[in-house]
Amino acid sequence: MGHASGVILPKLDGVPVEYRLSAEDPRAIKLAQTLTTLGLAEPSAWEDAKHSSTGYVRAALKRWLASHGGEQVRENFSLNATISSSPDLYSGDDGRRELLYLMVDPDSAGYVILGPTLEMLEIIHPRLPASFYHILVGAIQLWVRVYDVRDAQYRVEMLREWVEGENDPERYEFPDVEGCIPQSMKLKPLSLKHVRQLAVGINDQLSRQLVHAALDLNKISRRLRRPEISEETREALMDSNPPLPALLISFKRHDAVLACYDDESQAFLEASPEPNLIVEIDPTDHAGVRRAFDTLAVLCETMAAASRLAALLPGNNQEG
């Protein structure tokens, strides 16, 4: 039988093996209080969130998204809404210590092909395709970044500038963006008023639905203007890349716009991208919190309307 060494292990009886703390950020507590007072958070979620202010705020955000078309948005877009203590999710740099930041960003870009729709609308009026395109892109672009033919043109222009100094710039080939643009897109768009008048008299059911859906989208997207951000937050995002596109629009499957997107997308995350939407929240400012949530609601409803429109687009869901 061995001898005892005389060394003993300290007793851990009675020492808690786990500490759980939901007071991790006083700003989350203040926001939870404001959301409860405003009726934006559901008290019944408090127990489900295990009395954690962060979990409770998350539940309120999820509920808000669901009640503003979140499910419909998910059918065509992959967007995330986040409330963070930093304006830069990638670097995690601190912003203003008293603020929280409501941000929306995509995981990946939705994709729509507009060529067949434009051909269909051209039959109704030669300038309707360009009008439809500008209404659609203009409305969505108010809230999230859209990558479309203009980005592709800019990309090719930049690539050409890069090779200008080379000895034999002719050996480089670039996507033919100009060649992929339908002729109807080169005409001047009609005024919104003219499109509205035109929409009433369209006989073809799908064309009428499409034009009405675009007008509806335009109306929803302009319900609110996105709030301005402070100079400090702007400075924190100064070295960021442009926002990640939430939607890619091309005219045909595998056209030059898509080729430019594929090429450019490889550098999207070389630096932290700017958020698609960023709203500063002072958690104690009830009107400000309400405005932030209303802003998010308009973004959601805009993207839900875009999703409904995307579902109508002919040729959009064909494989290949």
CB of 71 to another protein, least distance (A): 20
C-alpha dist (Å) from residue 242 to 176, 295, 299: 24, 21, 19
Residue placing its CB nearer to another protein in the complex, 67 or 183 = 67
Give the list of residues 6+ apart from residue 119 with CB closer than 8 angstroms, or none: 129, 182, 184
CB of 63 to another protein, least distance (A): 14
Task: With beta carbons less than 8 A apart as the criterion, state whether 86 and 92 touch.
Answer: yes
> Whole-angstrom Cα distance, residue 286 to residue 274?
26
Which residue type is seen at 281?
Answer: I
CB of 178 to another protein, least distance (A): 59
- 213-245 exposure pattern, b = at least 16 Cβ within 10 A, e = fewer: bbbebbebbeebeebebeeebeebbeebeebbb
Residue placing its CB nearer to another protein in the complex, 56 or 143 = 56
Residue placing its CB nearer to another protein in the complex, 36 or 84 = 36
Residue placing its CB nearer to another protein in the complex, 39 or 320 = 39
CB of 300 to another protein, least distance (A): 25
3-state secondary structure 121-168: HHHHCCCHHHHHHHHHHHHHHCCCCEECHHHHHHHHHHHHHHHCCCCC
DSSP state of 277: E
C-alpha dist (Å) from residue 220 to 27, 214, 248, 305: 31, 10, 20, 8
CB of 19 to another protein, least distance (A): 4
CB of 309 to another protein, least distance (A): 35
Residue placing its CB nearer to another protein in the complex, 46 or 268 = 46
Write out the residues near another protein by the rule CB under 8 A: 7-10, 16, 19-24, 26, 29-30, 32-33, 36-37, 41, 43-48, 51, 53, 56
Residue placing its CB nearer to another protein in the complex, 29 or 195 = 29
Residue placing its CB nearer to another protein in the complex, 31 or 304 = 31
Task: With beta carbons less than 8 A apart as the criterion, state whether 187 and 121 touch.
Answer: no
CB of 11 to another protein, least distance (A): 10
Residue placing its CB nearer to another protein in the complex, 47 or 270 = 47
Helix (H, G, I), strand (E, B) or coil at 202: coil
Task: With beta carbons less than 8 A apart as the criterion, state whether 309 and 136 touch.
Answer: yes
CB of 54 to another protein, least distance (A): 11
Q: Please, what sign has the CA dihedral across residues 124, 127, 131, 132?
A: positive
